[in-house]
Each structure stands twice: as structure tokens, then as C-alpha cells.
Amino acid sequence: MNKATPDLQTFTIRDLAGEFDVTTRTIRFYEDRGLLTPERDGQRRIYHKRDRARLVLILRGKRLGFSLDEIQQLVTAYETPEDEIPQLEQYLRTLTEHRETLLQQKEDLEKTLQELEQAERDCRAALARKQS
């Protein structure tokens, strides 16, 4: 016999934790903060592909140094396409603001990368001299 539900594409909390190398505590914490809202089977959490996709976005935001609050703003706005003009305008402002942060960050990133690469070259040169 087959399983009762075919489970087209669902994940347990441990699946996601394993795949993305975070703890289950972390995933539950994100849920407390309203960043994830998995389905429930009784008490157990069931994650679908869209939950997984959200987690990807959250972790990407973290790697970029955003706080969970900021990630919250972006991710939820992403998925709830408000239909009223004032909300749309507010959303647009949020987006633009974040874009500017990211552009600043890109500048920082490129400067730092250049300096890092220069330092690497210097370091290799020093090593080469030393090892005569």
C-alpha cells in the first residue's frame, strides 16, 4: 500500500535544518517571529516548497546582514500583493529604500574585495621573497 498522503513535496523541520545547516530551534524561532507559517498535522509542522523558498530568502537576507525585522518586511511584502494605492506606494518606498542599502553595500563590497586582493598579492610576494 502507498502512504496515506502522497507527500508531493513536503519537508520535516529536520529536513530543512539539515539541508540549510541551521538548527530546528532556529527554524522554530523564525516561525515565532512570523517569518514562517508551516502547515500543521496535529502538532507536527509540515513544510511545503513555498516554506522552503521563504527560508532560502531569510537565510540570504541574513548573509547580507539584514535583521530579522528587515527580512520580515521584505519577505512578507513580497508575497502579499496589496491592492490599494496607499499600500502599494508604501511598499514601493520600502523597496526603494532597501535597494539603496544594497547599492551602498555593493560599493562597500567591491572596495573591500579590491583591497583584499591587493593584500593577497602583497602577501604572496612576501612569501615568495622569503622562500627565496
Beta strands in the chain (DSSP E): 10-11, 39-41, 44-48
Instruction: Give the one residue of 68, 74, 77, 95 binding DNA; rule: CB under 7 A.
Output: 68
Instruction: Give the one residue of 26, 73, 94, 101 binding DNA; rule: CB under 7 A.
Output: 26
Sort residue 2 into left (φ over 0), alpha (ψ -120 to 50) or beta: beta
Report DSSP state, residue 45. Answer: E
Report DSSP state, residue 35. Answer: S
Closest distance between a second copy and the C-beta of residue 89, in Å? Answer: 7
Instruction: Give the one residue of 9, 64, 76, 80 binding a second copy; rule: CB under 8 A.
Output: 64
Distant-in-sequence, close-in-space partners of 15: CB < 8 Å, separation ≥ 6:
47
Site membership for DNA, residue 101 (CB under 7 A):
no
Site membership for a second copy, residue 80 (CB under 8 A):
no
Site membership for a second copy, residue 106 (CB under 8 A):
yes
- Site of interaction with DNA (CB under 7 A): 12-14, 23-26, 28-29, 33, 42-45, 62, 67-69
